[in-house]
A and B are shown apart, each in its own frame.
Chain A
């Protein structure tokens, strides 16, 4: 049996992150609690170096390696770079919070790194097995992260729910994969794509597709598979929620693209209809139920569900421009989510979570600057120009209209109007009401700076959205 060494160069960032995660795990064993900052700094350094590795060697074309199970293309590179940024921001926001609650443990960062590794593998997967591998690595790390706050009842409950529902979703996904494997006899995405048009077993393929989509919809949190989202977002510690809400969405988008477009592109007609239903339901349920929430983490969870609906709209067009719009939507969603949860962390302090909507009352009098940042994020989520969220919505709507589905665009805008209401409510609490709590905001300087940069980038990319849009389009026009 011959063994040829695979070309490991394309997977260099993954290998680096893996080695560093193991190294940090070991190093952390020898650290005392007050030296934990070393773990933190090493983690951040890992992410920075990983970012540099990806950006330095930015791929122009498509490189396959490891017997074609791993692909590196521009889309993967851009998404990975964004995952690193999101991870970096998350960890920066988390540090103070974790420290104050005695959950400032090395495991948080190591698990985070493994989750990021899982996302990277997912992003670069070119085989059903690689997809499953990446997904499980990501999910298992996330379950553990949610459960880390083991004294908290809500967190344990959330971890349990997340784990069980996640396991069901993985099962669905595997079942779908097995059906498709049964028809095509291969797990390689490109080969599957080749076999589909000629296959006589279209019905079986469609069944497999349905199970695949159910699995993806679970992971994305699209209605009617969204039940875990509010509970997990609510129950987990805010930094964990921030982590779950941000980077994994990028990976989930990648998974969607790899499975549906790279693998099952030939079944576009079938999955388009399914996605239409998922998208409309997600936008509807997400936006309407969010209005009834009094906890901002739950509110943002439902808002996430509605954003997922919008994201699906971009994908279901089936055009490169549509995918690019969905990608732009994902990236801007992540940027806004980081800002939104970052603000919750900023307002929290020991023994106080700041996760009630009422905790935002009168923020403008306590800190006009951060109230302004939250205003930017909220208006952006509502899709009001000139913020990035507007362009994200517009680009998706534009592709929907281009695909001759004007009615769907009208449905989408109606739900956006409904959605605007609860975002406005946050602004109303911050600006129009008197503060209930007048204590000073006491987060560290680096977090304040990064959060400001985060808010301003929502505005600045909103004023000059051209570059990011062009980048997304370039990444996907080859796909």
Chain B
């Protein structure tokens, strides 16, 4: 019944306009009004995004809910939107997490509330735009514009070292993206169109493919982030306010992975295959090395930040082992499992890392410290919170029954078909992940009450309970019954594999 509505435009522009409305509430005297308006618009956006799932046709890889209007006539740039099984779940993730972030910032943010809320709403719209854009110019506009609210969020509401962190964040990502811009321009002149789907069909020689792939790699690897361009992430995460960390981890990192799926793999399949070894190596380094780095962190946010990098390594690993599996087994099935596993991992990591950052935020709001050493025995004073935190920590470690298990298991399983050693190294993460997460939980949550401050802690209130409970349900639901998500993406993943395995080099 909603198929005639411009749903994608609505999920992009409702939050942006809502955000501007929130801005007009002005000074902090009207903070309650700003909060309520922001909540209203984020909930409305989430509700609008639900039909994207319910009305989604699972059998086809074609773009759905498409909209196409001329934007810049002389260049052939179109306002062209559409989603497939890969981008649709990510849009839902975005609209869902934004609601939680708005609630999470409810009492915590006391200064310039209207600007805070509005920055998140505007960013939500822009991120939805990135996932929905089917025109390269439009995609790039959303992709870059998104940096502006995040820059402001970290810089204004962040921790003591926020200015260094936010400028580093901006310049790193800006650096990555401009190379993508040059690659997109090159593709534009090859295919005479800015449509991403036309890029997918465009035949390209091997050298251009390699160069384009590298240009894309810079852009997406910074965003994911992959080792060795990951160093902005721990800084940004640590300094960002809780809401900012959640959006960064839950959605912004996914943009890089999404970029691989939408651009690198289908546009430059031969180069991707050629350089798959590099990508697999980088992914495994992220999984294993960064896992060790996470182990020694003293700062909880930093630990989760490194764990995010390590988990995102699984995503890229899942994408780039596809050719070897295809070569080994001759069927798409195993390769599809790797890619699907990567996508499931993206969604699940969105929930889990978001939840972990929220948990740290809960503690930080009370004690204003993120140091693990300042805590201990929190379970004695905050039993409800402790239960949630342990659950999310288990999910982060990939315990079966939680969403963290599904994606990792699928990737490990399929990497067996590619190469035993990939699987072996990747499986190390189950141990490493368990080690750093559970060790942190042990030191923070369990044991004797560490000091007077911990002894004086209040358990979570209704608002915090609500957010964590919603996320807990999401994590468990996806862990026990991932089928709805997998069904949605099946056709699109298969279509993607078709592009990946067809050589585009002009003979």
The residues of A with any CB-CB pair to B shorter than 8 Å are 364, 368, 375, 379, 384-386, 390, 394, 397-398, 401-402, 406, 409-410, 413-414, 416-417, 420-421, 424-425, 427-428, 431-432, 464-466, 469-470, 473
Contacts and interface: CB of A to CB of B under 8 A. Distances in A.
A431 B155 contact: yes
Nearest to A382: B174
Contacts of B179: 410, 413
Interface string B170-184: 110011001101100
A427 B150 CA distance: 13
Interface stretch (B139-147, B196-204, B335-343, B346-354): B139-147
Main secondary structure of the interface of A (DSSP, over half): helix
Nearest to B137: A394
Interface of B (DSSP majority class): helix
A402 to B, nearest CB: 6
Nearest to B185: A401
Given A413-B182, A420-B174, A384 B155 contact: no
Interface stretch (B68-76, B97-105, B456-464): B68-76
Given A402-B189, A428-B163, A428-B167, A384 B144 contact: yes
A465 B144 contact: no
Contacts of B185: 394, 397-398, 401, 409
B166 to A, nearest CB: 8
B148 A384 contact: yes
A379 B148 contact: yes
A228 B427 CA distance: 64
A431 B137 CA distance: 29
A430 to B, nearest CB: 10
A431 B156 contact: yes
A431 B158 CA distance: 12
A466 B71 contact: yes
A409 B144 contact: no
21 contacts: A368-B115, A384-B144, A384-B148, A397-B181, A397-B182, A398-B188, A409-B182, A410-B182, A414-B178, A417-B175, A420-B171, A420-B174, A427-B151, A431-B152, A432-B155, A465-B72, A466-B70, A466-B72, A466-B73, A469-B74, A470-B73
Interface of B: 26, 70-75, 77, 112, 115, 137, 140-142, 144-145, 147-148, 151-152, 155-156, 162-163, 166-167, 170-171, 174-175, 178-179, 181-182, 185-186, 188-189
Contacts of B163: 428, 432
Nearest to A379: B148
Given A390-B144, A424-B171, A464-B71, 6 more contacts: A384-B144, A385-B145, A397-B182, A414-B178, A425-B167, A431-B152
Nearest to A418: B171
Contacts of A406: 182, 186
A385, A410, A420, A464 interface centre (most CB from chain B within 10 Å): A385
B148 A421 contact: no
Interface centre among B140, B145, B181 (most CB of A within 10 A): B181
A470 B74 contact: yes
A434 to B, nearest CB: 12
Contacts of A427: 151
A420 to B, nearest CB: 5
Contacts of A409: 182, 185
B186 A394 contact: no
Nearest to B141: A385
Contacts of A425: 167
A28 B142 CA distance: 52
Contacts of B142: 385
B147 A384 contact: yes
A63 B214 CA distance: 51
Contacts of A417: 171, 174-175, 178
A384 B178 contact: no
Contacts of B167: 421, 424-425, 428
Contacts of A401: 182, 185-186, 189
Contacts of A397: 181-182, 185
B182 A421 contact: no
Nearest to A400: B185
Contacts of B137: 394
B115 A469 contact: no
B150 to A, nearest CB: 12
A397 B183 CA distance: 11
Contacts of B148: 375, 379, 384
Given A384-B147, A466-B73, A469-B74, A394 B170 contact: no
A234 to B, nearest CB: 25
Contacts of B141: 385-386, 390
A417 B147 CA distance: 14
Count chain B CB atoms within 10 A of each CB in A379, A384, A390, A409 and give the residue with the most.
A384
A369 to B, nearest CB: 10
B217 to A, nearest CB: 15
B428 to A, nearest CB: 36
Contact of B181 (A413, A465, A473): A413
A380 to B, nearest CB: 11
Q: When A and B form their complex, which 10 residue pairs have the shortest distance between CB atoms, in order from nearest? A: A413-B178, A385-B141, A466-B72, A432-B155, A401-B185, A385-B144, A470-B74, A417-B175, A409-B182, A386-B141
B219 to A, nearest CB: 12
A424 B167 CA distance: 7
B170 A424 contact: yes
B363 to A, nearest CB: 25
Nearest to A376: B148
A473 B144 CA distance: 26
Contact of B156 (A402, A413, A432): A432
Contacts of B166: 428, 432
Nearest to B208: A406
Nearest to A372: B23
Contacts of A464: 71
A245 to B, nearest CB: 25
Contacts of A470: 73-74
A398 B70 CA distance: 19
B251 to A, nearest CB: 19
Nearest to A398: B185
A394 B181 contact: yes
A328 B29 CA distance: 43
Contacts of A386: 141, 145
Contacts of A432: 155-156, 162-163, 166
Contacts of A414: 178
